[in-house]
Amino acid sequence: MRWVGAVVGLIGTAWLLMLAGQLPGETGAGALARQAAFIVFAVLSLAGAVQMISQKRPVYAALFFVLVVLSTCGLLLLLEAWFMAFAVVIVYAGAILITYMFVLMLAHQASDADNVGEIPAYDRRSRDPVAGVVVAALLAATITTVTLLGVSELQPAATQHEQLQASAELLEQLPKRLDHALAESDFIAGGDVTLTVRDDTVVAHSGGHEMDIADDDLPGSTSHVGWDLVARFPASLEVAGVVLLMAMFGAVVLARRQIELGEDELRASAGLAPLAPDEIEDPDA
Amino acid sequence: MSAALDMLLAQAMVEADLARFLVLSGLLLAVGLAGFLTRRNLIVMFLCTELMFQAAVIAFVACGRWYWDFSGQVFVIFVLTIAAAEAALALALVVLLYRRRGTLDAETWTELHE
C-alpha cells in the first residue's frame, strides 16, 4: 500500500510541477494560484521530509527524499528559476538518489540474506530522539524568529525597473542575441546600439533611431545564470570541475575491492589452461 | 492615505513572499538536522545532509529572486557539485565500512570518540 501512495504522490507532484511552470501573470488569478501552489509544495516537502526521517526502511526514506526534491523544484519554478529546477531534478532525483539506492540495495541484500524482511535494530530504534528533536526545534525556532523579525529590515526587493535594467545590461553583452532581437523589425542598427529602460520596456537607441524590444527577446533567468556562472565566477567553475574529478578518483580508489589473485586464477580468467608442473621453468637451469 | 496604505500592504505582501520561503527553508533544515542526529543508519544520515542541502537551495534561490541577483542560483550549481562529490565519496566510505563490520549502524564505529 505504501508503494501505491509513493507512486501516486510522485505522479501528482510531477503534474503540479508542470502546472507551476505555466502559471499566468503576477496579479489576480495568477497570484492566487501561486499562493496555492506554494502551500501545496511547502506541505508536500515538509511532510515528505518528516516521513523521510521517520521511515524504518531506508529505501522508503530515499523515495520520500525524491518527493522532497520534486516539491522543492516546484518551489524553484515558483521563484522563476527554471534551469535550476530541472537541474536539481536531474542531478538529485536522477543521479544522486540512484547512487544512494545502489548502495542501499547492496547493503540491504547482504545483511538480510538469512532473515529476509526483518528490519535491523539500528533502523528501528533511534539514537537520543529527545535531544535530537530539541536541538532541531531550537534551530527551527531561531531561524523562524530571525527571519520573521529581520525580513522587514532587508533592502527592498528589486523593482521591475531594476530587473529590466539588469536584463538590458546583459543583452548589451550578447551581440548575437541583440542582433536577433533587432532583426525582427526593420530597425537599422547603424553603429553602436545602446539600451535604456523606459516605462517598463527596454528601448534600443542607435543613431537617432529607437525601437522597443519585446519581452520575449530579453534574456531570461537561465541566460542570467549562465552569464553569471562564466563571467563572474570562472575560477569557482574550474575549481568545481577539479573537485568533481577528485571525488570520482577518490570514490574509485576507495570502493575498489582489492582481490589478490594467484597465478592459476589469473590464467583461468584469461582462458588459459592451468600451469602444468613440468612447464614451470627452473630459474637455475 | 489609501495609496500609502496600498503601498504598505504591497510591501508587506512582497516581504511575506520572501519570508515564507525562508521559513520553509529553515524548517526543512531543522527536520534534516533532527534526522541526522537521531538516525543510526549511515546512509540515512547522509540522506539527511542532502535534505539540509535542499533547504539551503531554497534559501539561495529565494534571496536571489528577491534581489534579482543570479549568484544565488549560481551557488546552487556549486551546491549540486558538492552534493554529488559528497555522495560519491561518502557512499564509497560507507561501502568500505559496511564490508568491515557487515552493518550500517553508526554506533559500531564509536571507538574513536575516546
Question: What is the reported pLDDT for A217?
Answer: 78
**Residues A33 and A105 grouped into a single domain:** yes
> Is residue A280 assigned to a domain?
no
**Who has greater pLDDT, B10 or A43?**
A43
**Residues A165 and A131 grouped into a single domain:** no
Split into its structural domains, chain A has a count of 2
> How confident is the model over A67-95, as a mean pLDDT?
90
**Residues A163 and A125 grouped into a single domain:** no
> Is residue A103 assigned to a domain?
yes
CATH code (residue A107) = 1.20.120.1200
> How confident is the model over A125-130, as a mean pLDDT?
85
**Residues A181 and A126 grouped into a single domain:** no
**Residues A74 and A127 grouped into a single domain:** yes
The chain B residue lying nearest A150, using CA atoms, is B19
- From the list A75, A126, A140, which residue is nearest B58 (CB)? A75
Assess whether pLDDT exceeds 70 at residue B73. yes
Is residue A122 a contact partner of residue B105, using CB atoms and an 8 Å limit? yes
> Is residue A278 assigned to a domain?
no
The residues, any chain, with a CB within 8 Å of residue A250's CB and separated by 6 or more, are B88, B89, B92
Helices assigned H by DSSP within chain A: 2-21, 29-54, 58-78, 82-88, 97-111, 121-124, 129-150, 160-172, 175-183, 221-231, 234-255, 263-269
CA angle B37, B96, B53 (to 5 degrees): 40
User: What's the CA gap between B39 and B92, in Å, rounded?
Assistant: 19
DSSP for A213-228, please give it.
Answer: EPGGGS--HHHHHHHH
Question: What is the reported pLDDT for A50?
Answer: 94
Lowest mean per-residue pLDDT among A68-82, A136-150, A199-213, B76-90 = A199-213
**Residues A189 and A209 grouped into a single domain:** yes
Assess whether pLDDT exceeds 60 at residue A116. no
Assess whether pLDDT exceeds 70 at residue B113. no
Mean pLDDT of chain B: 85
CB < 8 Å to A227, chain B:
70
> Is residue A260 assigned to a domain?
yes
**Who has greater pLDDT, A26 or A257?**
A257
> How confident is the model over A184-208, as a mean pLDDT?
71
> How confident is the model over B5-27, as a mean pLDDT?
75
Rounded percentage of chain A residues whose pLDDT exceeds 90:
27
A5 pLDDT band, cuts 50/70/90, is: confident
> How confident is the model over B10-30, as a mean pLDDT?
81
Q: Euclidean distance between the first and final Cα of chain A, in Å?
A: 74
User: What's the CA gap between B108 and B40, in Å, rounded?
Assistant: 10
> Is residue A284 assigned to a domain?
no
Give the range of the structural domain holding residue A101, as residue numbers without chain letter.
Answer: 2-153
CB < 8 Å to B64, chain A:
79, 81
CB < 8 Å to A110, chain B:
102
Is residue A104 a contact partner of residue A98, using CB atoms and an 8 Å limit? no
Considering A98-102, A135-139, A179-183, the range whose residues carry the highest mean pLDDT is: A135-139
Q: Which B residues 68-97 touch A at CB under 8 Å?
A: 68-71, 73-74, 76-78, 80-89, 91-96
> Is residue A276 assigned to a domain?
no
Question: What is the reported pLDDT for A115?
Answer: 58
**Residues A149 and A186 grouped into a single domain:** no
> How confident is the model over A110-122, as a mean pLDDT?
63
Query: Would the CB atoms of B78 and A236 count as touching at under 8 Å?
Result: yes
User: What's the CA gap between A174 and A169, in Å, rounded?
Assistant: 9
CA angle A193, A197, A199 (to 5 degrees): 140
DSSP for A197-215, please give it.
Answer: EETTEEEEEETTEEEEEPG
Q: Which of A153, A186, A211 is a domain's end point?
A: A153
Residue type, A109: Q
> CATH number for the B2-103 domain, one of 1.10.3720.10, 2.60.40.10, 2.40.37.10, 1.10.287.3510?
1.10.287.3510
Question: What is the reported pLDDT for A189?
Answer: 57
Kindly calculate the radius of gyration of chain A based on its CA atoms and give it in whole angstroms. 29
**How does strand A201-206 pair with strand A194-198?**
antiparallel
Question: What is the reported pLDDT for A282?
Answer: 60
> How confident is the model over A106-114, as a mean pLDDT?
60
**Who has greater pLDDT, B4 or A198?**
A198
Residue B49 touches chain A, beta carbons under 8 Å: no
Assess whether pLDDT exceeds 60 at residue A4. yes
A278 pLDDT band, cuts 50/70/90, is: low
User: What's the CA gap between A251 and A254, in Å, rounded?
Assistant: 5
**Residues A178 and A231 grouped into a single domain:** yes
> Is residue A228 assigned to a domain?
yes
CA dihedral angle for residue A218, residue A224, residue A225, residue A230, rounded to 10 degrees: 120
Assess whether pLDDT exceeds 90 at residue A160. no
Q: Which of A153, A169, A201 is a domain's end point?
A: A153
**Which single residue is written with the C-alpha cell 513572499?**
B17
B1 pLDDT band, cuts 50/70/90, is: very low
3 state SS of B102: coil
In this prediction the ipTM stands at: 0.87
Where do the structural domains in chain B lie, given as residue ranges?
Answer: 2-103
- The model carries a pTM of 0.81
> Is residue A283 assigned to a domain?
no
**Residues A26 and A71 grouped into a single domain:** yes
A265 pLDDT band, cuts 50/70/90, is: confident
Assess whether pLDDT exceeds 50 at residue A226. yes
